């Protein structure tokens, strides 16, 4: 059902996105999952068990359809070309003037991907959508795909087809969140216009059977400040702070909390970081990607890219043929009109 | 009367209005299912070709061009809105217009900012789709006069008298009226081109069209349109109720068909319910109606061909839609739209009316008295 | 058959009632003529007969209108369709189908007449109104007169017992008008149908009328009576009645035939005066303003003009006459550049009108179209005037000055729609005239004008010609032609069949001759005014 494109749905989404104030109004705080990581990696990857996914589906199946609201929420963007070629400082390295550090959480567990958090250094004034595009290029997962209305269709090539489609259980779409007060907040702003501040945490989660409202589930990685890696020793404000694994995020220490099927708990004490094994109702597995970037769906993206390039020539031929046909018709019509006069 | 059923395939006559409308609505439904610019252009071309081939010498038959012009305006307006207020879709920036920072409560709205090729193409596709739908509607009004459609309506709708008349004739009347206003403007020495001419003549055109529609309704009424006949009030109420139910059910059903997310109940079952209710109303209304037909429009082979041609085109779009994404090419990343072969063939079937519909009677053929086989 | 009882009709937002306390009765089988100056409420009265007023117009009707024993307030117009047939002022606006036959059958379909009966009645009406050659034609391709006949036919097929016609002959050429009126009299005499007609061209209708309802329109009660009674004191009267008043005939003649019987002494008296007295002083003609050179025009397969060669000079008033559909309006449209010639050429002041921009074309040629109201689309007279100045790039106030010269004292704050027919025409005329085009074209300017308004128009046109404009009027109104035209061009089937001094062309035509000329033939006198002058000259010469 997800693959089927809905013209009507698209249009609704489009209208909502142009005019909409309402769509960003749903704002619900969620319990605070606090995954952390032993080594302050740049990317954290969660893999979710499929049973849990199924349950989530059922939970959301009954949610009312609020078509127009969805799209706007899921509006997303790519990195603008101007922002794209900014030199990438390391997230743990020094910031040059006009740079900010932000974390982007992307959760595509429901599509068979994982949940990841990526820290990025970007120019000040970068928008939410630019950040998303920047992440794609850094991870090599390709640019996000957008619908004609500006609705975000796919991140990392997931889902492969469709865009904000509605099924009988609700909408399948990328929901947009941001961190405020240590909680995920349902996107109350437009990713195309929202300017990020230093230390911002942005989240995207693919929701299946969602309502397009603030009740839709949050990313499975919580918006903890601990997602930011520690600054490199040379920059560390206080020499007594631990070096690499230690974090500048000693402030706002979150306590472990649990949601849905996954729990990751963290205990930060002083400079030491330990990771508790996963606990929780379901036997969730936290796969931690320790260090570098781990592209989630490189294969798919590459496939899509190649399929779109190799048929381009054929498409042009088809287009030329159809427009030739149209030209013949127009010519014929013109001749007929002249004759009848 | 019997002789009327034996209509020659080739003799000049007017096709049943229902056939033209079915064909046009089917084409419009095709247009609504796609944002593929190639297919949309082809739809417009198909509609135009059939119009040019089979329109009659009546005032409305020139309205197709006006609908095309209206379509162009829709596209332009859509593009302008995209540039000014559109969502700032990322991509290749063409130019940047000054951005206005809006207060927090309007966080979702963007005003100004970088304008990208991707966003413009998306807007163009959408505008093109609306323009194609307008062209299909224009084709229907050019090919079959609203008068004939009015006469073909079931008797039960007569109760709505004036409203129905105005609804059906307003657009064509506006076209006739706009021609008049344009001429008058020229006589006054005003330019008849340009945006200002358009905006300044909008009000007189609409006013003129409304006046004409009301005058028409008055004329129809004084000539017995909507007479009650012998039916009792309760019979009439029942048939009106059935009509309303049928129309609502069909509206819900059509919406459901266009929206794959709709519950199954709102699709075929709703359509079926609507059809049954309308049939019931027709039967009930038909019994009480005293109306007769002078020369009933026959529904014979050409009518079947025209309406089926529309359905084949629509069917091809449904199939293509099931098979893949060719009906809605991605604009972000921008890709060359695919040309689905099946849809093209389906649309070409849609041009069959240009050959198989009978020619309308022309001035040349009617100037000499016709021998009417009665 | 028709009974009005103390009927008062007030339109919404009107300060005073349009009709006030109207009571009269028309017995079955009579042809009743409704007369009155423009804007006196004739149309309102006619439309009240089957309840279109107030049902479709809004407003309040007090009193009661009883048709065939049924009160219109209780019965909808559609349920009176088998009793009353109404033909409005603009027949084309009332068409409900696209083809002649369908239009004729429409009312019968609604009444549920059996198909074979329908066939028969359609054939009858086609013959009665001479429409059989048009039976399969699209209505839009018909000329005004043909449309008028189809409109009448389309209500006749329903077999109504009352026929209501609003200016049925105003768009018709004299011959077609005769035909329609003859058909109506036949209906009255043979079938006993009651007919109610409103008409400004009394000269055409008066002789057929059994009864006249005069609507004064200024709050005075309506006058009902026989034609002779009513015209004794009426302000509106046809030329033959005016002539009778001038000559002091009693009883007043209503038809040319009556008048000729008593006109012998007058003819003798006038014949003694030299004919040169009768002819109007020939205006000095100026330069050539416009020419057409083998001009051809066609609408689809129908040729409207076939090789027309004409020349119009400054200072002349040219009447363009001819049957409906002869190509008069087409010629005017070409002269003002609304249409492009299919072949041949048009030149106005040395330029080709259809290639000029709108702003330039109004400086060389101005056209007042048949329905002059289409030129007006602002809220107030003042707005129309200033918009006109702006459009043509004139000094502010120019149009208003022209308007004051043509129709003095029009309230600037009035809505153009609320003006009288004559004032509205004057306003349209002054908008066209404001940029002083050397060539002024008027298409059927006297449609809907009463005699007084016509007289003022004639004076204005004569003045414009004297000022050096070339004035071309396309008209069916022979009385206006007689009063103002210097030269008369007759078109037939798109060709010029006569072109010469108006007096020569008009007097010798049985169709186009005005009433006075018919009464006084073979004398070449055209109008009552000329007779007056001639009589004065005759008495002068008898004294000297």
pLDDT per position as a tens digit, A212-233: 777 888 898 888 888 887 765 5
Q: What is the mean pLDDT of residues B227-250?
A: 77
Model confidence at C532: pLDDT above 80: yes
C partners (3+ CB pairs within 8 A) are: A, B
Least confident window among A146-160, C228-242, C271-285, C490-504: C271-285
Structural domain includes residue A322? no
Q: Do C377 and B58 touch (CB under 8 A)?
A: no
CB contact B366 to A (< 8 Å): no
Q: How far is it, in rounded angstroms, from Cα B22 to Cα B353? A: 12
Domains of chain C as residue ranges with CATH: 1-234 (3.40.50.300), 285-512 (3.40.50.300)
Output the DSSP codes for B100-124: EPPPGGGTT--EEEEEEHHHHHHHH
Chain B residues touching residue A7 (CB < 8 angstroms): 32-35, 258, 327-328
C67 three-class SS:
strand
One domain for residues B98 and B182: yes
Structural domain includes residue A27? yes
Q: What is the mean pLDDT of residues C21-30?
A: 91
Q: How far is it, in rounded angstroms, from Cα C24 to Cα C18? A: 16
CATH of the domain at A44: 2.170.130.30
Dump strand ranges (E) for chain B.
93-100, 111-116
- pLDDT tens digits, one per residue of C29-87: 999 999 888 778 888 899 999 888 888 888 899 999 999 888 988 888 888 888 999 99
Q: What is the mean pLDDT of residues C502-521?
A: 86
Q: What is the mean pLDDT of residues C110-132?
A: 89
Model confidence at A12: pLDDT above 70: no
CA quadruple C152, C157, C162, C168: dihedral, nearest 10: 0
Q: Select from B81, B86, B333 the Cβ nearest to the Cβ of A143.
A: B333
Domains of chain A: total: 1
Least confident window among B174-188, B292-306, C250-264, C276-290: C276-290
Question: Where does the pLDDT of residue C544 fall: very low under 50, low under 70, confident under 90, or very high at 90 and above?
Answer: low
**CA distance, residue B291 to nearest chain A CA (Å):** 37
* pLDDT at residue B289 in the model: 64
CB contact B190 to A (< 8 Å): no
Chain C residues touching residue B191 (CB < 8 angstroms): 357-359
Chain A residues touching residue C298 (CB < 8 angstroms): 341
Q: How far is it, in rounded angstroms, from Cα B194 to Cα B192? A: 7
One domain for residues B221 and B259: no
Q: Are strands C194-198 and A145-146 parallel, antiparallel or unpaired?
A: unpaired
**CA distance, residue A237 to nearest chain B CA (Å):** 35
Q: Select from B220, B292, B361 the Cβ nearest to the Cβ of C96.
A: B220
One domain for residues B247 and B275: yes
One domain for residues B300 and B270: no
One domain for residues B116 and B33: yes
One domain for residues B87 and B161: yes
pTM strictly above 0.95? no
Structural domain includes residue A296? no
Model confidence at B295: pLDDT above 60: yes
Model confidence at C89: pLDDT above 90: no
Domain that holds residue A150: 6-286
* pLDDT at residue B303 in the model: 94
Q: Do B223 and C106 touch (CB under 8 A)?
A: yes
Rounded to the nearest 5°, which phi and psi values hold at B111? -130, 115
One domain for residues B308 and B281: no
Final residue in a domain of this structure, among B288, B316, B334: B288
CB contact A17 to B (< 8 Å): yes
Share of chain C above pLDDT 70, in %: 97
Residue of B nearest to C95 (CA): B216
Indicate the average pLDDT of chain C: 86
Number of A/C CB contacts below 8 angstroms equals 3
* pLDDT at residue C281 in the model: 54
B290 three-class SS:
coil
Model confidence at B291: pLDDT above 90: no
Q: Select from B49, B258, B321 the Cβ nearest to the Cβ of A329.
A: B49
- pLDDT tens digits, one per residue of A303-323: 333 444 446 888 899 999 999
Q: How far is it, in rounded angstroms, from Cα A236 to Cα A241? A: 7
CA quadruple C220, C221, C224, C228: dihedral, nearest 10: -20
Domains of chain B: total: 2
Question: Where does the pLDDT of residue C422 fall: very low under 50, low under 70, confident under 90, or very high at 90 and above?
Answer: confident
Tokens representing B185 are: 């403007």
* Most confident listed range (A99-108, B92-101, B321-330): A99-108
Tokens representing A171 are: 């909408």
Chain C residues touching residue A336 (CB < 8 angstroms): none
**CA distance, residue A159 to nearest chain B CA (Å):** 13
Q: Are strands C194-198 and C31-35 parallel, antiparallel or unpaired?
A: parallel
Tokens representing C444 are: 């059927």
- pLDDT tens digits, one per residue of C309-356: 999 999 999 999 988 778 898 899 999 998 889 899 999 999 999 898
User: Side by side, which strands form the sheet with C439-443?
Assistant: C365-368, C439-443, C470-474, C317-322, C487-492, C495-501
Structural domain includes residue A151? yes
Q: What is the mean pLDDT of residues C83-111?
A: 89
B partners (3+ CB pairs within 8 A) are: A, C
Model confidence at B111: pLDDT above 90: no
Rounded to the nearest 5°, which phi and psi values hold at C290? -145, 150
CB contact B110 to A (< 8 Å): yes
* pLDDT at residue B287 in the model: 64
* pLDDT at residue A311 in the model: 66
Least confident window among A36-45, B255-264, B281-290: A36-45
Model confidence at C457: pLDDT above 50: yes
Indicate the average pLDDT of chain A: 60
User: Side by side, which strands form the sheet with C223-225?
Assistant: C84-87, C162-166, C194-198, C31-35, C211-214, C223-225
Q: How far is it, in rounded angstroms, from Cα A201 to Cα A178? A: 6
One domain for residues B256 and B297: no
Question: Where does the pLDDT of residue B41 fall: very low under 50, low under 70, confident under 90, or very high at 90 and above?
Answer: very high
ipTM at complex level = 0.82
Structural domain includes residue A279? yes
Share of chain C above pLDDT 90, in %: 28
Structural domain includes residue B364? no
Burial of C339 (0-12, 13-18, 19+ CB in 10 A): buried
* pLDDT at residue A33 in the model: 37
Domain that holds residue B121: 17-229+289-356
- pLDDT tens digits, one per residue of B7-18: 455 678 888 888
Model confidence at B208: pLDDT above 50: yes
Least confident window among A38-42, B127-131, C240-244, C533-537: A38-42
Chain B residues touching residue C357 (CB < 8 angstroms): 191
Q: What is the mean pLDDT of residues B253-277?
A: 79
Share of chain B above pLDDT 90, in %: 26
Q: How far is it, in rounded angstroms, from Cα C94 to Cα B223? A: 10
Model confidence at A77: pLDDT above 90: no
**Stretch 116-155 of chain B: residues touching chain A, C-beta under 8 Å:** 118-119, 121-123, 125-126
* pLDDT at residue B8 in the model: 54
One domain for residues B72 and B44: yes
Q: Do C133 and B204 touch (CB under 8 A)?
A: no
One domain for residues B300 and B280: no
* pLDDT at residue A8 in the model: 32
């Amino acid at each position: 059902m997800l693959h089927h494109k809905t013209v009507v749905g698209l249009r609704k989404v489009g209208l909502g996105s142009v005019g909409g104030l309402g769509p960003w109004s749903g704002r619900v705080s969620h319990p605070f999952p606090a995954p952390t990581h032993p080594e302050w990696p740049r990317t954290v990857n969660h893999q979710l068990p499929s049973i849990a996914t199924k349950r989530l589906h059922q939970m959301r199946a009954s949610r009312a359809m609020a078509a127009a609201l969805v799209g706007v929420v899921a509006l997303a963007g790519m990195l603008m070309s101007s922002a794209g070629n900014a030199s990438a400082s390391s997230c743990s390295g020094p910031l040059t003037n006009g740079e900010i550090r932000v974390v982007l959480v992307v959760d595509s567990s429901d599509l068979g991907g994982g949940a990841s958090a990526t820290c990025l250094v970007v120019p000040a004034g970068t928008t939410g959508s630019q950040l998303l595009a920047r992440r794609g290029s850094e991870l090599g997962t390709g640019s996000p795909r957008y619908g004609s209305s500006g609705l975000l269709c796919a991140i990392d090539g997931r889902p492969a087809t469709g865009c904000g489609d509605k099924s009988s259980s609700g909408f399948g779409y990328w929901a947009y969140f941001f961190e405020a007060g240590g909680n995920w907040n349902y996107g109350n702003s437009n990713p195309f216009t929202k300017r990020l501040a230093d230390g911002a945490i942005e989240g995207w989660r693919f929701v299946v059977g969602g309502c397009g409202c603030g009740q839709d589930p949050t990313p499975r990685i919580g918006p903890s400040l601990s997602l930011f890696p520690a600054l490199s020793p040379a920059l560390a404000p206080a020499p007594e702070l631990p070096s690499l694994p230690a974090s500048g995020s000693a402030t706002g220490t979150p306590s472990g909390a649990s949601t849905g099927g996954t729990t990751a708990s963290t205990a930060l004490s002083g400079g030491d970081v330990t990771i508790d094994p996963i606990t929780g109702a379901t036997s969730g597995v936290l796969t931690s990607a320790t260090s570098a970037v781990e592209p989630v769906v490189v294969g798919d993206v590459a496939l899509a890219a190649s399929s779109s390039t190799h048929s381009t020539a054929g498409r042009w031929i088809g287009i030329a043929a159809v427009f030739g046909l149209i030209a013949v018709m127009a010519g014929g019509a013109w001749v007929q009109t002249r004759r009848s006069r | 009367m019997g002789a009327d059923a034996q209509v020659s395939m080739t003799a000049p006559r007017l096709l049943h209005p229902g056939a033209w409308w079915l064909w046009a609505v089917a084409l419009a439904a095709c247009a609504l299912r796609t944002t593929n610019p190639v297919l949309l252009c082809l739809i417009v071309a198909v509609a135009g070709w059939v119009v040019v081939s089979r329109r009659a010498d009546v005032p409305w038959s020139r309205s197709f061009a006006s609908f095309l012009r209206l379509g162009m305006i829709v596209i332009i307006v859509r593009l302008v809105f995209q540039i000014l207020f559109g969502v700032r879709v990322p991509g290749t920036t063409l130019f940047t217009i000054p951005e206005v920072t809006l207060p927090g409560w309007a966080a979702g709205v963007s005003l100004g900012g970088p304008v990208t090729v991707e966003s413009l193409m998306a807007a163009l596709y959408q505008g093109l789709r609306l323009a194609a739908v307008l062209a299909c509607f224009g084709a229907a009004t050019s090919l079959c006069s609203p008068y004939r459609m009015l006469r073909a309506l079931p008797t039960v709708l007569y109760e709505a008298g004036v409203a129905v008349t105005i609804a059906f004739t307003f657009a064509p009347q506006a076209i006739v009226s706009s021609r008049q206003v344009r001429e008058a403007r020229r006589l006054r020495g005003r330019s008849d081109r340009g945006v200002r001419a358009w905006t300044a003549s909008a009000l007189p055109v609409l006013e003129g069209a409304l006046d004409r529609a009301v005058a028409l309704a008055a004329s129809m009424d004084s000539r017995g349109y909507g007479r009650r006949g012998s039916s009792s009030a309760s019979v009439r109420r029942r048939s009106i109720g059935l009509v309303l139910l049928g129309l609502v059910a069909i509206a819900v059903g059509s919406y459901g068909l266009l929206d794959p997310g709709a519950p199954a109940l709102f699709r075929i079952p709703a359509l079926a319910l609507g059809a049954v209710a309308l049939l019931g109303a027709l039967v009930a209304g038909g019994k009480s109606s005293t109306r007769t037909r002078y020369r009933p429009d026959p529904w014979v082979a050409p009518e079947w061909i025209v309406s089926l041609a529309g359905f084949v085109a629509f069917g091809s779009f449904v199939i293509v839609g099931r098979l893949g994404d060719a009906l809605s090419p991605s604009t972000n990343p921008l890709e060359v739209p695919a040309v689905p072969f099946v849809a093209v063939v389906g649309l070409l079937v849609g041009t069959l009316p240009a050959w198989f519909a009978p020619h309308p009677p022309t001035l040349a053929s009617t100037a000499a008295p016709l021998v009417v086989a009665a | 058959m028709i009974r009005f009882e103390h009927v008062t009709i007030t339109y919404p937002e009107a300060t005073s009632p349009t009709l006030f306390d109207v009571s009269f009765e028309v017995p079955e089988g009579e042809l009743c003529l409704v007369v009155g100056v423009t804007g006196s409420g004739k149309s309102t009265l006619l439309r009240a007969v089957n309840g279109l007023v107030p049902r479709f117009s809004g407003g309040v009707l007090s009193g009661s209108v009883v048709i065939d024993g049924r009160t219109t307030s209780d019965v909808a117009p559609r349920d009176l369709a088998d009793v009353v047939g109404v033909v409005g002022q603009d027949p084309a606006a009332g068409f409900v189908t696209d083809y002649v036959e369908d239009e004729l059958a429409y009312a019968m379909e609604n009444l549920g007449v059996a198909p074979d009966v329908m066939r028969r009645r359609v054939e009858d009406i086609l013959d009665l109104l001479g429409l059989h050659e048009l039976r399969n034609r699209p209505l839009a391709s018909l000329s005004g007169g043909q449309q008028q006949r189809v409109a009448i036919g389309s209500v006749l097929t329903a077999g109504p017992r009352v026929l209501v016609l609003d200016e049925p002959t105003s768009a018709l050429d004299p011959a077609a008008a005769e035909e329609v009126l003859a058909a109506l009299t036949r209906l009255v005499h043979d079938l006993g149908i009651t007919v109610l007609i409103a008409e400004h061209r009394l000269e055409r209708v008066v002789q057929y009328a059994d009864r006249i309802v005069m609507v004064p329109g200024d709050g005075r009660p309506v006058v009902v009576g026989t034609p002779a009674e009513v015209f004794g004191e009426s302000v509106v009267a046809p030329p033959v009645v005016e002539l009778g008043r001038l000559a002091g005939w009693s009883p007043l003649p209503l038809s040319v035939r009556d008048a000729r019987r008593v006109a012998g002494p007058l003819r003798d008296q006038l014949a003694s005066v030299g004919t040169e007295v009768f002819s109007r002083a020939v205006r000095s003609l100026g330069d050539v303003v416009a020419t057409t050179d083998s001009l051809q025009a066609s609408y689809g397969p129908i040729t409207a003009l076939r090789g027309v060669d004409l020349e119009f000079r400054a200072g002349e008033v040219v009447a363009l006459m001819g049957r409906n559909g002869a190509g008069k309006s087409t010629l005017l449209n070409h002269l003002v550049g609304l249409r492009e010639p299919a072949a041949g050429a048009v030149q106005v002041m040395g330029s080709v009108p259809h290639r000029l921009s709108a702003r330039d074309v109004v400086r060389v040629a101005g056209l007042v179209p048949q329905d002059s109201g289409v030129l007006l689309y602002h809220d107030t007279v003042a707005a129309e005037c200033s918009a006109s100045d702006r459009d043509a790039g004139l000094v502010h106030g120019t149009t208003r000055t022209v308007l004051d010269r043509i129709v003095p004292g029009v309230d600037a704050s009035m809505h153009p729609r609320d003006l009288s027919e004559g004032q509205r025409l004057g306003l349209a005329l002054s908008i066209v005239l404001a940029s002083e085009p050397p060539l002024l074209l008027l298409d059927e300017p006297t449609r809907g004008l009463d005699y007084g308004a016509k007289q003022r128009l004639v004076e204005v046109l004569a003045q414009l010609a004297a000022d050096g404009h070339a004035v071309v009027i396309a008209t069916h109104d022979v009385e206006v032609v007689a009063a103002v035209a210097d030269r008369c061009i007759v078109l037939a089937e798109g060709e010029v069949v006569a072109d010469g001094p108006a007096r020569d062309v008009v007097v010798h035509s049985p169709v186009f001759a005005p009433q006075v000329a018919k009464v006084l033939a073979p004398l070449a006198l055209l109008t009552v005014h000329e007779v007056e002058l001639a009589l004065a000259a005759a008495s002068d010469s008898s004294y000297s």
